[in-house]
């Protein structure tokens, strides 16, 4: 739903995942025949799990066989430069642009990015909302999902949609249902996989708010998803279509490091934040705040264009930089899941 293909200087990221596990040794009595194996009495109490083998355990900072050196891109540059040209262009700037454009093309089994500037068919969209509600209710009724207490399928506060463009000023969670209550697989052992978390919008991302909903929620959509957001999330004032187009279509620059702007109202922005460029030179960008949208000036080493060619060195650099990015299903706690590596 993870930063994204068009929000990075590279069109794709190498997904580096870590898994924590523990090995549990369980003694068992040998048997002389398969016929002597019997089912455990249902009334028998489950054995107490030893402290050395918990069901879940935080991953160690470094997995076995991995050193701090392995997490430094310079190490891999040294290894690969012996057999590969690190400056070799894997994708030209034109190919990067074409690949970015392709994620908007509908095709079977693929959910393309949405053009928020295109007119929305209100009846069709509200039917999609009803269909999603019925599908989620069916999962609960069949016992496939377990839902936290609370109303999840409220009604719109208005019978018509009233679209408005805003810019997210913080991480904004999009919920699949019209509530933040959790939905979990019936056999789930952790609540970190919440099926009600559809996606999230990152700071400085365009959001189209479509209608107020009951329970203090707003029906909204982004280029990559749609769902419900809490009415109290931090958004910019309404932006006009011309400004929304800059955020929807670019061209963009991406921050190469965390910064705090020197604007009248200081704004903290993290590395990978994508901003629409405000001039051809590429050293000015548009920044949304609680007061509106303004221009800021940044040096070329801080605001990187997204139209660069992809080299082997840039690919490795970007992949390694995401090692500490937490996994978050549907954007949980600001993390990314597999889809966000490509969006």
Instruction: Give, for all 343 residues of the chain, the pLDDT tens digit.
Output: 433 333 333 333 333 333 333 334 344 444 444 444 444 444 456 678 888 788 777 778 888 899 999 999 999 999 999 999 999 999 999 998 898 888 888 888 777 888 999 999 999 999 999 999 999 999 999 999 999 999 999 888 877 899 999 999 999 999 999 999 999 999 998 888 999 999 989 999 999 999 999 999 999 999 989 999 999 999 999 999 999 999 999 999 999 899 998 777 788 999 889 999 999 888 999 999 999 999 999 988 899 888 889 999 999 988 888 787 778 888 777 777 776 665 5
Looking up tokens 């913080």 gives: 170
- Token pair belonging to 185: 């697989």
**Are 304 and 256 contacting, i.e. CB atoms less than 8 angstroms apart?**
yes
Calpha distance 77→79 (Å, rounded)? 5
- The count of residues in the chain is 343
Can you name the residues that pair with 284 across neighbouring β-strands? 297
């Amino acid at each position: 739903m993870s930063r994204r293909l068009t929000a990075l200087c590279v069109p794709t990221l190498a997904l580096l995942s870590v898994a924590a596990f523990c090995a549990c040794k369980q003694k068992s009595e040998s048997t002389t025949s398969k016929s002597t194996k019997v089912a455990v009495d249902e009334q028998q109490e489950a054995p107490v799990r030893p402290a050395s083998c918990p069901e879940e355990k935080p991953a160690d900072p470094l997995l076995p066989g991995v050193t701090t050196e392995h997490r430094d891109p310079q190490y891999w540059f040294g290894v690969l430069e012996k057999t590969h040209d690190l400056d070799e262009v894997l994708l030209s700037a034109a190919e990067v642009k074409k690949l970015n454009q392709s994620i908007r093309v509908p095709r079977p089994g693929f959910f393309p990015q949405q053009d928020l500037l295109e007119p929305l068919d209100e009846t069709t969209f509200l039917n999609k909302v009803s269909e999603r509600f019925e599908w989620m209710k069916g999962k609960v009724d069949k016992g496939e999902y377990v839902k936290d207490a609370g109303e999840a399928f409220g009604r719109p506060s208005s019978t018509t949609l009233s679209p408005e463009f805003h810019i997210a000023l913080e991480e904004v969670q999009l919920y699949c249902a019209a509530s933040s209550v959790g939905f979990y697989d019936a056999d789930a052992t952790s609540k970190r996989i919440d099926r009600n978390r559809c996606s999230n919008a990152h700071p400085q991302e365009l959001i189209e708010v479509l209608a107020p909903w009951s329970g203090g929620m707003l029906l909204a959509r982004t280029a990559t998803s749609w769902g419900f957001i809490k009415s109290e999330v931090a958004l910019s004032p309404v932006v006009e279509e011309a400004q929304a187009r800059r955020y929807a279509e670019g061209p963009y620059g991406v921050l190469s490091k965390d910064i705090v702007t020197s604007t009248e109202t200081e704004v903290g922005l993290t590395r990978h934040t994508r901003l629409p460029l405000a001039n051809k030179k590429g050293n000015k960008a548009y920044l949304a705040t609680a007061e509106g949208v303004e221009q800021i000036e940044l040096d070329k080493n801080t605001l990187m264009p997204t139209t660069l060619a992809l080299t082997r060195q840039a690919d490795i650099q970007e992949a390694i930089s995401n090692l500490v990015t937490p996994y978050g299903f549907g954007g949980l706690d600001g993390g990314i899941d597999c889809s966000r590596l490509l969006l």
